[in-house]
Structure 1
Amino acid sequence: MTITAPRVLAFLASVAAFAAFAAPAQADGEVNIYSSRHYDTDERLYSDFTDQTGIEVNRIEGNADELIERLKAEGANSPADVFITVDAGRIWRADEAGLLAPVESDVLSERVPEALRHPDGHWFGVSTRARVIFYDKDTVSEPPQTYADLADPKYKGQVCARSSSNIYMLSLLASQIAHNGEDAAKAWAQGLKDNLARDPQGGDTDQLRAVASGECTIALANTYYFVRAITGDVEGLSDAVDRIGVIFPDQDGNGAHVNISGVALAANAPNRENAIQFMEYLTSESAQSYFANGNNEYPVVDGVEANSAVEGLGDFEADDLNLSELGKNQARAQEIYNEVGYK
């Protein structure tokens, strides 16, 4: 390959950029965060942590899978101290790749419920969201009450859901595998596919918009997407929220499927003590309130309330399955979707 002057300059620039970020990582009073959370409201988390501790926060944001690959490529030279991502399935991938380190912290163990943290302290949930059923109240008189109901033939042609490769759908099926076994999970995936109103497409907001537009009458989505439409102006959805009902599934069974935003210590963290201090800070009352009010999530710490719009969805029993099971069953979940032809 011919090496041109522009290629050389680009390479030198990338090396310089990495050095500028990596070199200060050894200094006292800093913590380097790799985060796949992309919410503007998280800015307050970082600035308040600095105000409280004097520790400066450097961060790189990006797609979770891209950040995982970056951590792998950087290896022992990685400047990352903390890894933050959404969905237990993603953080499990990072852990399986050897990119995370266990943390022994009484603060984290006491504040974070057992189901929402790795059994050996490799990661901790800092906020939750429930994956629930939404339906058109004008046309659905008997909405599904369980995840199993979504596979009932009486709802044929009515359901909208995301693609099989979406991490939320993988985690939901992984939980079905953990609770009911592979055969039952496969039957459920087949029934869900048979009941789809359209090919899987779009994000959670798109599923809700499809209910609002009448393209389908039932949809799966995370709670905070719907609350955004209640509290803000989401095109094609906010005007229809009054006619969309919410069902927290499996209230007489395993409880509603929940997932997390999770935090972990990077395996080669150069600022380990600062990193753990930041992780503990995320479970403080002030930080938990930011999660609750900034992105309409549920706090993980007992005694901290969700915001009024989230509370308005109603109380519910959450599934207490340890979320590490979602990662363990993730690969099999994708295989099952593929086997039944769920795209």
Structure 2
Amino acid sequence: MPSARLIAPALALGLAASLAACGSQTSSTVDGAGPDDSGDTLVIYSGRNENLVAPVLDRLEEAVGMPVEVRYASSSELAAQLLEEGDATEADLFFSQDAGALGALAKAEMLATLDEDVTALVPEDYRDGEGRWVATSGRVRVLAFDPAQVPQIEEITGIDQILEPEFVGTIGYAPSNASFHAFVTALRVERGEDEARAWLEDFSAQQPQAFEGNNAVLDAVDGGQVAVGLINHYYWFQKVAELGEDSVQARIHYLSSDDPGALVNVAGAGVLAGTDNSRAANEAIRFLLSTEIQQYFADETAEYPVVDGVRSTVFDLEPLAELGTDQIDLNELDSLDATLALLDEVGLT
């Protein structure tokens, strides 16, 4: 896969400002629901960071024609809350940071089938096969690397190659991070429990250095503390946008598309099965998939758009279709408990 490059050094501040100018509250006072809805407020449970998506969600009132209330927490917390609330939940729409939480709700039959014109906007790999949720943006697992320490990076096509003796003590990872958990879950799904356990045991024997998050891993690579780091692609793009490419030593490398280390995970949305606001909830997802909002995610945080025809004007991102990623069924990322148990068993928590 081609290494990523940055086209421009600044984020799309103009679009962010225009979105933010439309409001900064998490609930609204617009009167009236749509003609097909009996609820008076569209309630969204958002596992996405408020600082990132509030400028977008604040505009939903206009898009759906009714008041909007947003409740923020982590995706895993909100999924657990929804499973506990069941049919009694007040939520109409779940906006998740990852596919695993959406898969858990789909498995529990808590998500309604979306309108066909909504699901048709998103490629099959990035939506539920039964139309219960769709991706709204994507992110790719990559290797951050220090060129001075890993000049042979282009020879690395899969995660098995970082288990070679030359990488002992030189790998950084974030054991408590949800994106690392998603990678391990994908590893379990693709290779089975026994092979996943064997890989993790070999990885542990490499004496990897643990950090609090992807940014800390990237900083360690950039500072030469480790040679290779397991991160999501957009952390590098954001760092280069902030500091300038000449000020960042680290680079990123994409693995082969059929490798679990190249997982494309997604943020996405689904409508709760018991909602009284089905029309408005589907309209909200259409809004998240609109060209304008897809452009916002692509230009503001270097996430991959999931709608054809949208390209970042700030970051040099290959379209998802051109990455050629061999994608697992993202619903299968829901088995987080098994992943955490396995990581604990091999001492990687």
Q: TM-score range by the shorter chain?
A: 0.7 to 0.9
Shift of 1:51: 3.1
Q: 1:337 aligns with which of 336, 340, 343?
A: 343
Q: 1:239 to 1:231 in 2, by over 3 A?
A: closer
Asked if 1:152 corresponds to 2:164, the answer is yes
SS in 2 for 1:137: coil
**Larger of the two Rg values belongs to structure:** 1
The aligned residue for residue 171 of structure 1 is: 182
Match of 1:7? Answer: none
Paired residues of 1:126 and 1:283 also in contact (CA < 8 A) = yes
After TM superposition, the structure 1 stretch with the greater mean CA deviation from structure 2, 61-70 or 287-296, is 61-70
Corresponding residue of 1:135: 145
Distance 2:100 2:122 in 1: 18
What amino acid is aligned across from residue 303 of structure 1 in structure 2? G
Counterpart Cα distance in 2 of 1:72 and 1:252 = 33
**Alpha-carbon separation, structure 1, partners of 2:237 and 2:120:** 29
Q: 1:14 is matched with which residue?
A: none
Q: Which residue pairs with 2:228 in the alignment?
A: 218
Q: In the superposition, relative to structure 1, how do residues 59 and 298 fare at CA in structure 2: closer, same or farther (>3 Å)?
A: same
- 1:57 is displaced (CA, Å) by 2.0
1:101 & 1:196 partners in 2: Cα distance? 42
Q: What's the RMSD between the two structures over aligned residues? A: 2.9
Output the CA distance in 1 between the equivalents of 2:89 and 2:331.
25
Report deviation, 1:254. Answer: 7.0
Superposition map of 1:2-17 within 5 A: none
Amino acid in the other structure paired with 2:100: G
Local SS of the residue matching 2:225: coil
Deviations 1:62-114 (Å, cap 9, x if unpaired)?
Answer: 1223323433454433221101111112222333455x322242222211111
Instruction: Give the TM-score of the pair, scaled to structure 2.
Output: 0.80
Q: Across the two proteins, how many residue pairs are aligned to each other?
A: 314
Contact 1:133 1:248 survives alignment (8 Å): yes
TM score, norm. by length of structure 1: 0.81
Q: 1:322 to 1:312 in 2, by over 3 A?
A: closer
Aligned with residue 294 of structure 1, among 300, 310, 313: 300
Unaligned runs of 5+ in 1: 1-19
Q: Which structure dedicates a bigger proportion of its chain to helix? A: 1
Per the TM alignment, residue 275 of structure 1 is displaced from its structure 2 partner at its CA by 0.6
Identical residues among aligned pairs (%):
25
Q: 1:341 to 1:96 in 2, by over 3 A?
A: same
Q: Aligned AA for 1:160? A: G
Question: Relative to structure 1, is the Cα distance of residues 148 and 240 closer, same or farther in structure 2, using a 3 angstrom cutoff?
Answer: farther
Bigger CA drift: 28-37 or 66-75? 66-75
* CA contact 2:141–2:232 (8 Å) conserved in 1: yes
1:51 alignment partner in structure 2? 62
Q: What's the counterpart of residue 327 of structure 1?
A: 334
Q: State the secondary structure of the residue aligned to 1:32.
A: strand
Alpha-carbon deviation of 1:157? 0.7
> Which secondary structure state, in structure 1, belongs to the residue aligned with residue 262 of structure 2?
coil
What residue in structure 2 maps to residue 208 of structure 1? Answer: 218
With over 3 angstroms needed to count, the CA separation of the structure-2 counterparts of 1:109 and 1:255, relative to structure 1, is farther
Contact 2:40 2:66 in 1 (8 A): yes
Call closer, same or farther: CA 1:185–1:134 in 2, change over 3 Å: same
